[in-house]
Amino acid sequence: MNKHHDFAAGSTDDQQITLRSPAELADALPYMMGFHPSDSIVLVALHGGRGRFGGRLRLGIPRSPREWEPVAQQLAECLIHGSERRGPRPDGIVVFLCQEPADGESGLRVMERLRPLAQRLRTACGALDVPVYEALCISDGRFWSYCCPDTRCCPPEGTPLVLPGTSVMAAAAAYAGIQVRGSLREMEARLVPWTMGEVVEQQRALDEAGRALVPRILDEQGQRGLAADTLELARSVLDRLAQTPHIPQSAASGEGDAVDDRLVSHQEAAALIHGLQDRRTRDRAAQWMEGPDAAPALRLWRALSRRCVGSYGSHAAAPLTLAGWVSWSLGDEPAARVALGLALRADPEYVFARLLHQACNEGLDPETLRHCLRQEQDWPTPSGAPAAVAATTGSAAGDDPDTSGDQASADRPTGATGVTGAGRERPRHRHRRRRARLRSAARAARAARGPGDASHNGTVGGGTQVRGSRRSGRRGSRSRR
Q: How, if at all, do strands 92-98 and 40-47 pair?
A: antiparallel
Average model confidence (pLDDT) across the chain: 78
Residue from 139, 178, 124 nearest 26 by CA: 139
Q: How many Å separate Cα 119 from the centre of its chain?
A: 28
Q: What is the pLDDT of residues 226-245, one digit of tens each?
A: 999 999 999 999 999 999 88
pLDDT at 321: 97
Confidence of residue 200 (pLDDT cuts 50, 70, 90): very high
pLDDT at 334: 86
Flag whether pLDDT at 179 surpasses 80: no
Report the predicted TM-score, pTM, of the whole model to 2 decimal places. 0.68
Q: 3-state SS of the chain: helix, strand, coil percent to 5?
A: 50, 10, 40
Range name among 137-141, 160-164, 248-252, 370-374 with the lowest pLDDT average: 248-252
Confidence of residue 21 (pLDDT cuts 50, 70, 90): confident
Q: Which helix (H) or strand (E) holds 223?
A: helix 220-243
CA of 225: how far to CAs of 43, 220, 268, in Å? 48, 9, 16
Q: What is the mean pLDDT of residues 259-284?
A: 95
Residue from 456, 353, 463 nearest 83 by CA: 456
Q: How far apart are alpha carbons 444 and 425 in whole angstroms?
A: 26
Backbone φ and ψ of 58, nearest 5°: -130, 140
Q: For 374-382, which contacts have Cβ atoms below 8 Å and span 24 or more sequence positions?
A: 374/287, 376/283, 376/287, 378/424, 379/280, 379/284, 380/224, 380/227, 380/415, 381/224, 381/228, 382/221, 382/224, 382/225, 382/228
Burial class of residue 310 in the structure, from the number of CB atoms within 10 Å of its CB (0-12 exposed, 13-18 middle, 19+ buried): middle
pLDDT at 251: 46
pLDDT at 322: 97
Range name among 109-123, 284-298, 414-428 with the lowest pLDDT average: 414-428
CA of 242: how far to CAs of 202, 261, 263, 294, 364, in Å? 23, 14, 11, 10, 29
Query: Which strand ranges, in their side-by-side order, compose the sheet holding 40-47?
Result: 17-19, 7-9, 52-60, 40-47, 92-98, 132-139, 142-145, 159-160
CA of 99: how far to CAs of 21, 316, 412, in Å? 21, 27, 38
Q: Which helix (H) or strand (E) holds 324?
A: helix 317-329
- Within the chain, what is the greatest distance between any pair of CA atoms? 80
- Cβ neighbours for 261, distance < 8 A, ≥ 6 positions apart: 303, 306
Give buried/exposed letters for 143-178 (b at 16+ CB in 10 A, else e): bbbbbbeeeeebeeebbebeeeeebebbebbeeeee
Give just the sign of the alpha carbon dihedral 462, 44, 368, 478: negative
pLDDT at 369: 86
Q: What is the pLDDT of residues 59-108, one digit of tens each?
A: 889 999 999 999 999 999 999 998 888 888 999 999 999 999 999 999 99
Q: What is the pLDDT of residues 329-383, one digit of tens each?
A: 998 888 998 999 999 999 999 999 999 988 887 778 899 888 888 876 444 445 4
Flag whether pLDDT at 318 surpasses 70: yes
Q: What is the pLDDT of residues 463-473, one digit of tens each?
A: 333 433 333 33
CA dihedral 154, 91, 453, 439 (to 10 degrees): -120
CA of 393: how far to CAs of 54, 181, 316, 356, in Å? 38, 37, 21, 19
Flag whether pLDDT at 425 surpasses 50: no
Q: What is the pLDDT of residues 29-61, one digit of tens each?
A: 888 888 888 899 999 999 988 788 888 888 889
pLDDT at 439: 57
Residue from 388, 427, 386, 434 nearest 405 by CA: 427
Confidence of residue 207 (pLDDT cuts 50, 70, 90): very high
Confidence of residue 406 (pLDDT cuts 50, 70, 90): very low
End-to-end, the C-alpha distance of the chain in Å comes to 55
pLDDT at 11: 43
Q: How far apart are alpha carbons 43 and 33 in whole angstroms?
A: 11
Residue 133 three-state SS: strand
Q: What is the mean pLDDT of residues 131-136?
A: 95
Q: How far apart are alpha carbons 372 and 386 in whole angstroms?
A: 18
Confidence of residue 424 (pLDDT cuts 50, 70, 90): very low
pLDDT at 30: 87
pLDDT at 36: 86
pLDDT at 16: 65
Flag whether pLDDT at 186 surpasses 60: yes
Residue from 91, 87, 88 nearest 6 by CA: 91
Higher pLDDT, residue 197 or 473 = 197
Q: How many residues does the chain have?
A: 481
Q: How far apart are alpha carbons 372 and 363 in whole angstroms?
A: 18
pLDDT at 343: 96
Tell me the H-state helices in 34-160. Answer: 68-86, 107-127
pLDDT at 184: 84
